[in-house]
Chains A and B, each alone.
Chain A
Amino acid sequence: MQPSPIRDLTVGLFVLAGLAAIAYLSVQVGGLQGERGFHLYATFDQIGGLRPRAPVVVSGVQVGQVSSIELDKNLRARVNMDVDPSLELPVDTMASIMTEGVLGNKFLALEPGAEDELLKDGEEIAFTESAVLLERLIGKFVNDAGLDEED
C-alpha cells in the first residue's frame, strides 16, 4: 500500500474523533472533573438516598458536588463535598439534604448563615439537617392516625 495523504488524514481525524468522544463521555457524561479545590464536610444522622456526585446547591444554584460519603467513628454519615473556592460561606452555614420533587434525586442544599467568619478549606459544616424519609413520615402518620382511632 502506498502512503496516501488523504488516507492518513482520515485516519488522523478518526483517531481524534474517537478520543474526543471518549473525552466527552468522561467529562460531560461521566462527570470527571478537576478538583475545584475547596473541600468541606458535614455529618448527618440520615442521608437517605444521597449519592456521590449529587449536586451541592446554594439557593438552588449548583456550586459543587458530593465527592464521597463514608461512615465516621460515631457511625454517622460523613459527606465530603467539593465546592467552588470563590464561595464565601459563613461558619454557621447549614447543610440539609433535600429531594427534587417528592420522589426525585437527593441533593445537598447549603444555607449561608449570618456570621462574619468564613469556612476554610477542609472544615466541617456544623449545622446539618438530615434527609426526611418519606416512608418514615408515612409510617408516623399512619401510626398517629391509628392511635387517634383507639382513643
Chain B
Amino acid sequence: MRLPAVERIGFKSQLFVDHLGGLAVFTLSVLRCAFVPPFRFRRFVDEVFDAGVLSLSIVCLSGFAVGAVLGLQGYDTLVRFGAEANVGAMVGLSLVRELGPVLTALLVIGRAGSAAAAQIATMVTTEQLDGLRMMSIDPIDFVVGPKALALLVVMPLLAALFILFALFGGYLVSVMLLGLHGGTYFASLESAITFADDIVPSFSKALVFGALVGFIATYRGYTSEPTSTGVSAATTGTVVTASVCVLLFDYVITALWGI
C-alpha cells in the first residue's frame, strides 16, 4: 500500500532531522576551531569589523527611533492612568527585557547574517573553499569559524548600544518633547531595572541570538548548492530561518525562565 502524502511527510521529516544533525555537527566543528590552534585572530577582527562596526549606524539609529516611539506611546498610554511618571520604567523594561536583544538580532540578521551567508555561498559556488582545501587550509577554520564567532561576540555589544540609544531616544521624547521631568524618567528607569533579573538575562538572550544567527547564517552558506540559485536560496533561507528561530527562542527563553 502506498500513501504518497504520508510518504512526503516522512521524507520531509527525515530531511529536517538530517539538517538538524548537520547543523549540530557543523556547530561543534566551528566551536572546535575556536579552541584548537591555529587561532585566526586576524580573520576574527576583520569579521568583527564587517558584522559589528558596519552594523553600528543602523543599530544605533533604529535604537534611537524605537526608544523615541516607546517614549511617545508609553507617555500617551500612561498619562490616561495618571502614571506618566513611570514612562522610564516602561521604556526601560520593555527595551532591556525584550526589544533590545530581539530587534538587534533581527537587524543583524538582515545586515550581517545575510551577507555572511551570501559570501560563503558564493565561495562555495566559485569553488574557493575547494581551493582553500587544496592548500590544506580548513575552510571551517579560515572562513566559517571567524564569521560565526564574530556574529556571536558582536550581538551583545550591539544590543547594549541599541538599548543605550533607545533609552536616550525615550529620554529625549519624554523629557524634551512631552515635558516630563528628567529626574523622574531616570529614577523610575533605575528603580525598575535590576542587574540580576533584567540586565543579565538581556545579555544572555543577546548571546543566544548571536549564536543562532552566526551558526545558521554560516551553515546555510556552507551547505548551499553551487549555483546562483543556491546563493540566493542560502541568503533568503538565512533571513527566514534565523528570524523565526530568534523569535521562537525568545519565547521559549522567556517562558522557561521568565525573563
Contact = CB atoms under 8 A, between A and B. Distances in A.
Interface of A: 1, 3, 7-8, 10-11, 14-15, 17-19, 21-22, 24-26, 28-32, 52-54, 104-105
A29 B52 contact: no
Nearest to A17: B161
Contacts of B190: 28-29, 31
B198 A30 contact: yes
B199 interface: yes
A25 B45 contact: no
A9 to B, nearest CB: 10
A24 B189 CA distance: 13
Contacts of A8: 45
A77 B217 CA distance: 51
Given A10-B53, A11-B45, A30 B199 contact: yes
A100 to B, nearest CB: 9
A22 B203 contact: yes
B191 A53 contact: yes
Interface stretch (B118-126, B152-160, B234-242): B152-160
A15 B195 contact: no
| Chain B interface bracket (under 10, 10 to 19, 20 to 34, 35 or more) | 20 to 34
B157 A25 contact: no
B45 A22 contact: no
A10 B49 contact: yes
B193 interface: yes
A133 B194 CA distance: 25
Contact of A31 (B163, B193, B202): B193
Closest 4 CB pairs of A and B: A18-B157, A30-B195, A21-B160, A32-B195
B73 to A, nearest CB: 20
B67 interface: no
B80 interface: no
B177 to A, nearest CB: 22
Interface string B159-195: 0110110010000000000000000000001110111
Interface string B39-54: 0001101101100110
The SS class assigned to the B binding surface is helix
A45 B64 CA distance: 45
Given A29-B193, A30-B199, A24 B164 contact: yes
A82 to B, nearest CB: 14
Given A11-B52, A29-B189, 7 more contacts: A3-B42, A7-B53, A15-B157, A25-B202, A29-B199, A30-B194, A53-B191
A10 B57 CA distance: 13
Contacts of A25: 96, 160, 163-164, 199, 202
A83 to B, nearest CB: 17
A77 B194 CA distance: 21
A21 B53 contact: no
A18 B158 contact: yes
A143 to B, nearest CB: 27
B160 A22 contact: yes
Contacts of A10: 49, 53
B20 to A, nearest CB: 32
B189 A15 contact: no
Given A30-B193, A52-B194, A22 B157 contact: yes
Nearest to B150: A11
B65 interface: no
Contact of B195 (A17, A19, A31, A54): A31
A31 B92 CA distance: 13
Given A8-B45, A30-B195, A31-B195, A14 B164 contact: no
A107 to B, nearest CB: 9
B56 interface: yes
A105 B167 CA distance: 21
A25 B193 CA distance: 9
A8 B195 CA distance: 32
